[in-house]
Structure 1
Amino acid sequence: MYWMEFLTVALVHLLAVASPGPDFAVVVRESVTHGQRSGSWTALGIGCGIGLHVGYSLLGIGLIVSQSILLFNLFKWLAAGYLFYLGFQALRARPAAVGDISAGVPDEPRSRRRAFTIGFVTNGLNPKATLFFLSLFTVVIDPHTPLAVQAGYGLYLALATGAWFCLLAWLFSRSRVRAGFARMGHWFDWLTGLVLIGLGVRLVASEMA
């Protein structure tokens, strides 16, 4: 009965998750710099961040945040500050050793908790995700759809997001791919840092929809 609605939700989510953003940038950097394990735990953190958005969308908290300029701006500044932090951390990264660059050897993996936290906070503090899931659960999904079915949609969204970014973590941690990025030397860290800072600036400059 709800298959068409589910397919619509899945399609909208696919288009959203496939577009590059902060989640994509941090997964690529973690996978290239620290290897597949760190990238995968970052991806799992992002998936759990999706679960957070789904949870408060179902509870209606997202509607409150979206209607309060003060709360929205506070949320936006927290997210931008975290992106700035990640960006400056990337800019401060040391150049890789020549031997490591030629072999494409990743740095020491991050702890699981640290990698997971990076993914969770990056996604959880993204106000664009707040508005996306709010619109998804108020416009795309019929309000008369049973709460259990909506929760099932949310579970799918979290699992699909985690699986997508785990796939990216696997791809960008492959030896040839990592070696290709490594040949860029310190420029890769600088580029990633500038992208993250740029996303933060764009977030700060954006107006509340």
Structure 2
Amino acid sequence: MDFTEYSIEFLTIALAHLFAVASPGPDFAIVMKHSIQYGKRTALITSVGVGSAIFVHVAYALAGIGLIINATPWLYDLLIIIAASFLIYLGIGAVQSQALVSTAAIKESSNPQLSDKKAFLLGFMTNGLNPKATLFFLSLFTVVVSIDTPMIIKGAYGVYLAFATAAWFCGLSLVLSRPYVRDLFSRNAYIFDRVMGLILILLAVNILYSEFGTRFGI
């Protein structure tokens, strides 16, 4: 098997995932909350829980792609439209993002410690039950991953996405658990969020153009 032939597919997935995971949402909120309230260790364990939940999304996304495309081609087009619309929705929401409320007044010492098990489960459930994550991974694998891509390659994509997600949030945990960084990030995170929003919108437009542009002679 020549793994290099799937390099473009992988890079597309990795790039789309980077844009999505970098945009603040429920996962960011729980990691930030735990970083501020409980400190580095709890936030890191929470981040591992968030990353582990990616396996759930990838599993059902991969399990249904082949059946959906083979049985109902028109549904594939519908999913393309839904996927692009969802990315545009996320992008517009991110572009309209406002500055976060300062967290400087929250004191870590006033909060009881969270057990490692509970921290992991909170991270896992936050991502696993996030409907936006569900639709994102379903649309991502439907749009980008070819039906002819071997399952071992698809599985490798899933492993990467899980570890990349955990690594991203672990990195955020290390940064957000620093007291002097918290206020700075809370005041300026919306700027980064707006940039990510514009990128998501452009990605959605590119998806629509790639799938329908040729058909309608655009």
- What TM-score comes out, normalization by structure 1 length? 0.63
Q: Following TM superposition, by how much is the alpha carbon of 1:123 offset from its aligned partner in structure 2, in angstroms?
A: 0.4
* Residue 153 of structure 1: aligned partner: 157
1:165, 1:106 → 2: CA distance? 24
Q: Which runs of 5+ in 1 are unaligned?
A: 68-94, 185-209
Residue 175 of structure 2 is matched in structure 1 by 171
Q: What is the one-letter code of the residue matched to 2:6?
A: Y
Residue 45 of structure 1 aligns to a residue whose secondary structure is helix
Where do residues 29-178 of structure 1 align in structure 2 (5 Å cutoff)? 29-60=33-64, 101=107, 105=109, 107-177=111-181
Give 1:109 shift: 3.1
CA distance, structure 2, for counterparts of residue 105 and residue 119 of structure 1:
22
Once the two structures are TM-superposed, the CA of residue 55 in structure 1 deviates from its matched residue by 1.2
Percent of pairs identical after alignment? 53
Query: How many Å separate the matches in 2 of 1:55 and 1:106?
Result: 40
Q: Distance in 2 between matches of 1:34 and 1:108?
A: 8
SS of the counterpart of 2:44? helix
TM-score by length of 2: 0.61
Mean Cα displacement is larger for which, 106-115 or 162-171? 106-115
Shift of 1:105: 4.8
Runs of 4+ in 1 over 4 A off after TM superposition: none
- Distance in 1 between residues matched to 2:24 and 2:136, nearest whole Å: 15
**Paired residue secondary structure (2:122):** helix
In the alignment, is residue 11 of structure 1 matched against residue 6 of structure 2? no
* Residue pair 1:32, 1:106 contacting (<8 A) in 2 also: no
Q: Distance in 1 between matches of 2:109 and 2:122?
A: 22
Cα-to-partner distance string for 1:135-172 (whole Å, 9 max, x where unaligned): 11111111111010011001000000000000011111
Q: Deviations over 1:65-95 (max 9, x none)?
A: xx9xxxxxxxxxxxxxxxxxxxxxxxxxxx8
State the Cα distance separating 1:106 from its structure 2 match. 7.2
Query: How many residues align structurally?
Result: 145
Query: Cα distance 1:147–1:106, how it changes in 2: closer, same or farther (>3 A)?
Result: farther
Whole-Å separation in 1 of the counterparts to 2:142 and 2:123: 26
C-alpha distance in 1 between matches for 2:51 and 2:113? 20
Query: What SS class does the counterpart of residue 60 from structure 1 fall into?
Result: helix
Q: What's the CA shift for 1:132?
A: 0.9
Q: What amino acid is the match of 1:141?
A: V
